[in-house]
Amino acid sequence: MSTNADFDLFRTSEDHEALREAVRAVAEDKIAPYAAAVDAEVRYPQEAHDALVASDFFAPHVPEEYDGVGADALATCIVIEEVARVDASASLIPAVNKLGSLPLILDGSEEVKARYLPPLAKGETTFSYGLSEREAGSDTASMKCRARQDGDGWVLSGQKSWITNAGVSEYYTVLAVTDPDGPRGGNVTAFVVEKSDEGFSFGEKERKLGIKGSPTRELHFDDVRLPADRVVGQVGDGLKIALRTLDHTRVTIGAQAVGIAQGALDQSLAYIKERKQFGKRIADFQGIQFMLADMAMELEAARQMVYVAAAKSERGDKDLTFFGAAAKCYASDVAMKVTTDAVQLLGGAGYTSDFPLERMMRDAKITQIYEGTNQVQRLVMARQLLR
């Protein structure tokens, strides 16, 4: 027999809904007015950054003992969702702050946590994540970035690609091979690299289809010397930490996708209720209503998948790997479909930058790609099923 506790998984609390209202107010007042300019000017959303810091939505996942607000996984998803509803680029600020710092929270020493988490919680820096390389995207274990031991410390050499908020962040969690002759997947170690470290530099900004407000650059390491206390977790456990991190943070990409889709649905609803053709609102045509119903139905299914996965993330359930991959994969596919249909609903207007739908459609595409392509997500799910 089911108990009431079983159903709590599917219902947000009053605190969660109060949080949603607060984030939505900040997003609409302080972030939405700048979203179009951020995209057009290809610049970092500093207004959003400042608003998120002022409201404690900048890195809400950081535990209270490190000066954070200690938001649970679902609350963090709601923050990301509501920001993404108006600006996907800005939503990457709290999302990537979690991605970059979660390896420390999961496996870092108390010393590492105490040094790097409080500045993040206070909004003094963003925190980026360095895993992918030019020839090691989905196949992370084939990375070439190396860290060799030198006395009591390490010397880091190589590069990382597609790094979100690179150049803005002061801190970077970087994965590097520390035992070239060791077992594949068991020879990688995680380190914290600081922007000021000698020999650490950045490539040019990538020219992208969407999320133009979030700088994406390569990281270059030219014999960067790191003290021993920069290691996150145990030497050789880096890839395990990276994959555990992604189990949790794929859920936040699902939340971002849900937010983008919700924003697109909101915009298209407002338009079709005003736009008239053949003497009546286009919202009154059955064909349009069928499109709306499908958009809303799939969006709500995606939202429930994300929220269930967030609950599993908070509890650390054993099936999180499947649910995190499923939530990210489904929600991002829905975001691409909903934003494409939203552009269609606005017709020629949807294809112009006078409305935010074309930006939302461009932004949605990356959610199917980063933190593991949706093809890889399906492999992850299938392997979990076949175990």
Tens-place pLDDT, residues 183-205: 988 999 999 999 999 999 999 99
Average of per-residue pLDDT across 252-259: 98
**Segment 342-346 mean pLDDT:** 98
pLDDT at position 185, please?
84
Which residues partner with 216 through β-bridges? 164
pLDDT at 255 over 60: yes
pLDDT over threshold 80, residue 108: yes
Q: At what angle do helices 46-54 and 88-107 cross, to 10 degrees?
A: 50
Four-CA torsion 338, 211, 355, 271, nearest 10 degrees: 30
CATH 1.10.540.10 positions along the chain are 4-126
Whether the predicted pLDDT of 328 surpasses 60? yes
- In the chain, CATH 1.20.140.10 sits at 240-386
Residues of the chain within CATH 2.40.110.10 domain(s) are 128-237
Report the SS3 class of residue 1: coil
∠ CA(71), CA(36), CA(212), 5° rounding?
A: 70
CATH of 4-126, one of 1.10.540.10, 1.20.58.220, 3.30.420.40, 3.40.640.10: 1.10.540.10
The contacts of residue 110 (CB under 8 Å, 6+ apart) are none
Helices (H), the chain: 4-7, 14-26, 32-41, 46-54, 73-84, 88-107, 110-121, 238-272, 286-315, 320-346, 357-366, 374-386
| Domain 240-386 in CATH 1.20.140.10 | yes
Residue type, 160: K
Query: pLDDT, tens digit, for every residue of 1-53?
Result: 333 444 455 679 999 999 999 999 999 999 999 999 999 999 999 999 999 99
pLDDT of residue 7: 43
The structure tokens listed for 239 are 């890839």
Give the pLDDT score at 10. 64
Task: Give me the chain's average pLDDT, please.
Answer: 96
pLDDT value of residue 190: 98
pTM exceeds 0.85: yes
| pLDDT single digits (tens) 271-317 | 999 999 999 999 999 999 999 999 999 999 999 999 999 999 999 99
Query: What is the rounded average pLDDT of the residues 202-220?
Result: 98
User: Which position among 81, 218, 298, 371 bears the catalytic label?
Assistant: 371
* Known catalytic membership, residue 111: no
Superfamily classification of domain 128-237: Butyryl-CoA Dehydrogenase, subunit A, domain 2 (2.40.110.10)
